[in-house]
Structure 1
Amino acid sequence: MAQPASERVDWRDLWTNGDLARFCFISLGILLHATNETMVATVMPAMVSELSGVELIGWSLAIYELGAIVSGAAAGRLVSYVSLRTNMVAAAVIFAIGALICATAISMPMFLVGRLIEGVGGGALVSLAFVTVERLFPARIWPQLFGIISAIWGVSAFSGPLIGAAIVHFLSWRWAFGIFTLIALGMALACNLVLNSPEARRRVPSLEALPPFPYAALAVLGVAVLFIASAGVNIELLRSTVLLALGLLGLVAFFQLDRRNARTHLFPSRMFDARTTLGRGMIMVGAFSVSTCSLAIYGPLLLTTLHGVSLLMTGFVIASEAIAWSVMSMLVANAGPRREPFLIFTGALMITAGIAGFAFAIPNGSLALVLGCAILQGGGFGIAWPFFTRIIVSSAAPTERTIAASAVPTLQRIGYAAGSALAGIVANVAGFSIGLDRETAAAVAPVVFLAFLPLAFVGVSMAVALVASLPRDKSA
């Protein structure tokens, strides 16, 4: 059926009146965040060779995700107090400051401070992009604009490792962050000029009293992940055990605090109850998010150290996982409900097989096998993720479905933060705590993947339980 002329989107008119130009600048924030998030994987080997601090690699993603989680939760509230334009400019400047600190870092701790600030700016830019679509553009073109955002995110995630490797190859790892400093400053200037409509220049107060911001819960989350990451530095049995236990207890406390704060909670109720469909799906999301961090954090470093693989090639390997995710998602997009159980279960098995395969392929240096495992892991997410996300959201209470939809990517970010910290502990226990050389890399390579297999098996068991519950849930 043809689309009515009155409902068609006139892209030329949108460009002429400035709407599309404004959206392009807004979307630049998505590109900055997504590219920088994945770029660090291929920048890390060159950076570690100059700054040392290989024992702190696991912090680079953990601390970035923490900043993004906190600022992303705050940004939607801040537009009720400060204008949208001011928020966008401030977020871009914060990102630029973080990138500049990374570019000029003289030590790994200084670099991590920059990563934290970058995460704060990047998380705010992403959240504000979605707010901006709702505030500044007519509802009839929201689907097209959100579709463009998804495409930009996907392209950025694909290209991040390759961009990082190319900049390091032709310039240096410092320029990888220096270039993003300049882009972010350019975005701040552009936002100040382009976001000039009344809706963008004035604050929009809420019609209702704003609920309090969940400072306590997010502070507990931040401290918990930092405890876990700290446990992997300067390994000592008593100290590391205590810090790890405190970190895990902190994560439990975070979810308890979130559950009790009915007005500010970030997650649906009973989200980890394995007796419910929603709980099984959420446990599956958490388990696979934590267990698949090792490739992005340690894959390039291990391949370059053990086998002399070029950074450009390692960038292609990391990017292939994201490409496989997107391609497989598109291929199964039209699969009917009857195929959902098979796709979810098959995806869970593919992810687990990919993790196990890396433990063999990376130590042995088979690039073809490493690439195959990356495609297997990414493709597993691609064929399962759309369907168990739909099941999670549809199984939530009607009043919590919006929260459930946003909770999936939020839990994924928390999983990445905790997973990268745990991967740092595993790697340091296996040998990186004493330095980086070929011998220690050979000892770390299998362990940093095999250590997460039990958690991947938890994800598979939840997939089995989720699939088994579907007929009963559909007939209920």
Structure 2
Amino acid sequence: MTPSAAPPTPSSTRAATGQGGVIVVLAGGMLLQAMNIYLTSALMPSIVTDIGGENYYAWVTTVFIVASVAATMAVPTVLGRLGSRVSYLVAGGAFGIGSAIAAAAPTMELLLVGRLVQGVGGGMLSGLAFALIRSALPEQSWGKGTAIISAMFGIGTLTGPTIGGAFAQFDAWRLAFGVVAVVAVGLGIAATSVLPPSPRSETASRLPWSSLLVLTAAVAALSVAGVVPGWWFWVAVTVGTALVIAFVAVDRATRSGVLPAITYRAGSLKWLYIALALTTTVTVSEAFTPLFGQRIFTLVPFAAGFLGATVSAGWSVAALASARVKRRRDQQRLALAGPAITTVAMLVLVLLQFVPATPLALTGWIIALVVAGAGTGLSNPHLSVWVMSSVPNDADDAKAAAAIPVASMIGQAIVAALGGTVVNAGLSSYQHAASNLFILLGIVALLGHFAVRASTRRQPQFGGNRD
């Protein structure tokens, strides 16, 4: 007779419950950040109808993204000075205050102020989500935590338009922001009892103002590129690209930069950040696929919106499955295969532009987009964990982890700007415009594959089992 397994001890049960609470809070903050972008987009027609300000339509998103990037870069300093619980409370509070300002805004100008404050809170929430995985969870749970947090992007893509559309249907956009404010403050309060306390550092580094300002300006320029006409686009892209290069030079020279100093030395970390920047850009397609769904397949707006969510759906499911893989060699295979799969899926989407727009072709689109997102989901959890495992000391662990979403945002901002250009260049035919976009995303994903390969060659010792 086989003896039964010993029952879990009270201490192990409490530890598991504590880890679950940490993941729920961190994932909740990331979901709030991800969902809010799409929720606000769904509310914008109602907002403009109510308070005007159509000229500022695109800036509602741009201001939020720029503020998010700047706040994310400040997370290591804030975390060192305030500790985990107070930092998360500040992040949730800022998001809640910004949402409350937006809910009460009588004009578009004040709404932009609310979005700015929201962006600060959202950037801190996303940066803390990754930074606290490393300090609040045991190493064997990093992959699971990272996968769940990454999956929140996909869930936010699905729930954001749905919830926003429901509030817009009842002309209750102010109530939508009010509910978000309550949830954000509630998450911040919950964090004070769920997150394990972290000591405040008397030697916490000062904010890297020079690096932070240059990179914020770069993201701002690249974001503006998507909303300015004609030759101003090329001015914005050129300035943004030059500022990204300048950021690398400034951050490398400063004593305490945005990225850990080890990033600029021989090793894998810089390639991991580049890989994260390149492999997550497939989500840029979500800004355009609803348009293609309406124009090519004559889908109603609601159905076209869900066509835009297929990439994130594939990402979320694949990330949760991929995180279960523990053997290092298998993790490396998945990380390498992910962007290659995305590249193939993009090639299939290009080929589908040469067939009639039938229901069968639409099915092919859906499958290819899900597979493209799944490619990112296969690689992203492992790349993120490897970043956390590549820092040899605790001094830079929060800095390395908090930079994970920054790398993704930079890549997405650059490719979104280029994507708008190639789509506009092909608008004589929506199939032509779609081909241009998918070719661009396929090339970027292929470059991501080579960046992952470079990272594995330069540092073969990653976290996880070696067998």
Q: Which residue of 1 aligns with 2:408?
A: 412
Q: 2:315 aligns with which of 322, 325, 328?
A: 325
Trace 1:50-449 onto structure 2 (pairs within 5 A): 63-78=63-78, 90-99=90-99, 114-127=114-127, 153=149, 156-172=152-168, 175=172, 178-185=175-182, 187-188=184-185, 195=192, 206=201, 208-237=202-231, 239-271=232-264, 276-290=267-281, 292-332=282-322, 333-334=324-325, 336-359=327-350, 361=352, 364=357, 366-391=361-386, 394=389, 402=397, 403-428=399-424, 444-449=433-438
The TM-score normalised by the length of structure 2 is: 0.74
| TM-score computed with the length of structure 1 as normaliser | 0.73
Which whole-Å CA distance do the structure 2 matches of 1:394 and 1:22 have between them?
Answer: 20
Q: Which amino acid aligns with 1:259?
A: R
How many residues are treated as equivalent by the alignment? 451
Given that residues 342 and 371 in structure 2 are in contact (C-alpha distance below 8 angstroms), is that contact kept between their aligned partners in structure 1?
A: yes
Q: Deviations over 1:201-225 (max 9, x none)?
A: xx9753x333210122111112112
The answer to whether the Cα contact below 8 Å between 2:167 and 2:176 also exists between their aligned partners in 1 is no
Distance 1:204 1:347, change over 3 A: closer
The one-letter amino acid paired with 1:339 is D
Q: CA distance change for structure 1 residues 234 and 415 in 2, over 3 Å: closer, same or farther?
A: closer
Separation in structure 2 between the aligned mates of residue 326 and residue 190 of structure 1, nearest angstrom: 22
CA distance in 2 between counterparts of 1:473 and 1:27 reads 24
Give distance in 2, aligned partners of 1:20 and 1:349: 33
8 Å CA contact retained: 1:98, 1:116 = yes
Structure 2 CA distance, aligned partners of 1:316 and 1:459? Answer: 26
Instruction: Deviation per CA, 1:106-125: give whole Å up to 9, x if none.
Output: 99887666544322121223
Residue 34 of structure 2 is matched in structure 1 by: 34
Q: Is the 8 A contact 2:214 2:246 kept in 1?
A: yes
Q: 1:320 to 1:263 in 2, by over 3 A?
A: same
Would the alpha carbon gap of residues 27 and 244 (structure 1) be closer, same or farther in structure 2, given more than 3 Å must change? closer
Contact 2:72 2:402 in 1 (8 A): no
Tell me the distance in 2 between the aligned counterparts of 1:127 and 1:157: 14
Change (3 A) 1:467 1:114: same
**Which whole-Å CA distance do the structure 2 matches of 1:445 and 1:309 have between them?**
16
Using the TM superposition, give the Cα deviation of residue 91 of structure 1 relative to its aligned residue in structure 2, in angstroms.
3.6
Q: 2:413 and 2:339 mapped to 1: Cα distance?
A: 21
SS of residue matched to 1:9: helix
Q: How far off its partner does 1:175 sit?
A: 4.2
In 1, Cα distance between the equivalents of 2:93 and 2:268? 42
Once residues 193 and 378 of structure 1 are traced to their aligned partners in structure 2, the CA distance between those partners, rounded to angstroms, is 32
Deviation string, structure 1 residues 239-275 (Cα, Å, up to 9, x no partner)? 443332221010011122222223344245355x8x8
Structure 1: which 5+ runs fail to align?
Answer: 432-438
User: Of 4, 11, 25, which aligns to 1:7?
Assistant: 11
CA deviations 1:175-195 (Å, max 9, x no partner) are: 467424323235437856995
Shift of 1:401: 7.3
1:84-142 deviation per Cα after TM superposition (whole angstroms, max 9, x unaligned): 7776565445324544566688998876665443221212234556788999xxx7x87
Secondary structure, counterpart of 2:330 in structure 1: helix
Partner of 2:450: 461
Q: List gaps (5 residues or longer) in structure 2.
A: none
User: Structure 1 stretch 365-374 or stretch 85-94: which is displaced more?
Assistant: 85-94
Distance in 2 of aligned mates of 1:232 and 1:456: 21
User: Which residue in 2 is equivalent to 1:434?
Assistant: none
Distance 1:115-1:298 versus aligned 2 partners, 3 A rule: farther
CA distance in 2, matches of 1:372, 1:30: 27
